[in-house]
Amino acid sequence: MSQQRALHTAVDDAQLRQEALEWQVLLWSGEVTDDQQHAFEAWLARSELHQQAWSEIEAMQQKLQLVPQATIGLVRHKISSAKRRRFMQMLGLAAVTGSAVPIVRQSEGWQALAADYRTHTGQQEKIVLADGSQLIMNTSTSVDIAYSEHERRLVLHEGEIYISTAPDHSQARPLLVQTRHGTATALGTKFNVRLKHHETRVSVHEGAVRLRSDNGLHDLTIASGMQAGLLNGALSKVSANGNETAWLDGKLVAEQLRLGDFLDELSRYRTGVIRYDQTVANMLVSGVFPLSDTDRVLQSLLQALPLRIDYFSKYWVTVHAA
Amino acid sequence: MPDPGVQQQLHHLYSHHHGWLKAWLRKKLSCQHTAADLAQDTFVRLIVSDKTPLPGQSRAYLTQIAKGLVIDLYRRQRLEQAYHEWLLQLPPIDIPSPEQQAIALQSLIQLDKVFDQLPARVRETFILSRFDQRTYSEIAAQLGISVAAVRKYMLKATQACMEQL
């Protein structure tokens, strides 16, 4: 191709791109006349080069469409971090009312001094307690309920619960959650308690919760929007809530999470074991994943990361580097 | 490829200041891995820019680049969080695939950069049209400008999107 001709083509391309751009701006007006629409179609039908120029515009437009309107506020105005935290809390609360948790069970009345509730792996359950308080149980969770004249005590043996307390007007009985690490006492509130092997972690979404270590040495009131933990008989530092209650919506949220931590979290919801090589443990995962279908989540990881997944059986999964 | 003199200077900069820069970033970020990544990115940025600091100003120059990268990172994290908050509200069935999530987030980050370079009025016009679904006449009335001006602003913003999205 001669230099002259190359130059000519380049000019044509730029010209067509400009025309495509102008058409797009015209078509976005929301006030397109039939004549304009026909003129555009005639322009597009003129040559393959026209169509090529248009496809570039379309590619950009498709990306634009993937950006949710809800996130544009952040780009449009700068939002203070305090405002954002409040927004997140709002979402946390909205998540509970629109909860995806399926089954509701009514306990037999508070005269039943001890009740026992248990969920299996991958199961979640919502329980309305005798006083109207709500208890939502996450996967593999076991709770004893021990209401008495003096207190409303829940004993968390394993797993994770979200509690939304009802005020107890008749008698001022405190509601408290006991674990092997200590107790969390509700001060009129919504909160999440997760029991791990070495730690009990409490995140507060409304009101406040008083956290006290089993040995009685440590005591802390956690405010709404914050979380803290009991680890080895001591209190951890208080920090802002993240995505602790995404499980109420049946979701697992990862923000630059180590793949190892991600898989550990995922395996809570899956019968059997998920093993992974240390070589992949530090890869980072971001995204929102449905807890209801862990097989789908594992498959989707393959699209995002250079991994290989071996199934020895349905219950034994190993994740390697590709 | 930088010429040998420049290469030698870069080598000198790296060996004398990389460790210091990493420590400086770690104090700012409280995450060791991110600090290491950003220290690396700072040098990449420096090499790509084809400029080298004046003698005696190496650390000031490096921290200036690094500060920009830290701000970019925070900005990116906030956008990522906003996008995830939005995803959280969706019924599980409507959650886009991880691939689509990645494209959407990347587009949001690019769009944020595009908007940074546009005058406020152009940006607002584009958002009203593309995200608030207003017609050009409505935008003109709301912003108190002519429809021709709306079109002009839209051209400018769309052009910027074409270049960077």
CA–CA gap between residue A165 and residue B119 (Å, rounded): 50
Among A210, A240, A270, which residue terminates a domain? A240
Residue A50 sits in which domain range?
3-66
Phi, psi of A149 (to 5 degrees): -65, -30
Among A240, A273, A299, which residue terminates a domain? A240
Domain annotation covers residue A98: no
pLDDT band at B91 (very low <50, low <70, confident <90, very high): confident
- Whether domain B97-165 has CATH 3.90.180.10: the reply is no
Shared-domain flag, residues A123 and A32:
no
CATH of the domain at A293: 3.55.50.30
Shared-domain flag, residues A7 and A108:
no
pLDDT band at A4 (very low <50, low <70, confident <90, very high): low
Shared-domain flag, residues A133 and A215:
yes
* pLDDT given for residue A89 in this prediction: 38
Shared-domain flag, residues A265 and A234:
no
Query: Which B residues in the span 124-153 are in contact with A, Cβ-Cβ below 8 Å?
Result: 124, 127, 129-138, 151
Cβ of B80 within 8 Å of Cβ of A21? The answer is no
Number of structural domains (chain A) is: 3
Shared-domain flag, residues A215 and A260:
no
Query: What's the ipTM?
Result: 0.78
From A38-52, A210-224, B29-43, the region with the lowest mean pLDDT:
B29-43
Domain annotation covers residue A92: no
Domain annotation covers residue A86: no
Domain annotation covers residue A77: no
* Domain range list for chain B: 1-95, 97-165
Whether A222 and A208 have beta carbons less than 8 Å apart is answered as yes
Could you tell me which residue, A144 or B55, shows the higher pLDDT? A144
Shared-domain flag, residues A231 and A263:
no
Shortest Cα distance, chain A CAs vs residue B39, angstroms: 19
* pLDDT given for residue A270 in this prediction: 87
Domain annotation covers residue A236: yes
Whether A53 and A19 have beta carbons less than 8 Å apart is answered as yes
Shared-domain flag, residues A275 and A174:
no
Shared-domain flag, residues A315 and A276:
yes
CA–CA gap between residue A302 and residue B98 (Å, rounded): 10
Shared-domain flag, residues A268 and A316:
yes
Convert the pLDDT of each residue in A175-199 to its tens digit. Answer: 999 998 899 999 878 999 999 888 9
- Share of residues in chain A with pLDDT > 90 (%): 40
On whether the pTM is more than 0.80, the answer is no
Instruction: Name chain B contacts of A73, Cβ cutoff 8 Å.
Output: 82
CATH of the domain at A128: 2.60.120.1440
User: By the CB < 8 Å criterion, does A83 face chain B?
Assistant: no
A71, A93, A205, A282, best to mutate vs chain B, most B CBs in 10 Å: A71
Cβ of A25 within 8 Å of Cβ of B151? The answer is yes
pLDDT band at B107 (very low <50, low <70, confident <90, very high): very high
Nearest alpha-carbon partner for B78 in A283, A83, A89: A83
Shared-domain flag, residues A123 and A213:
yes
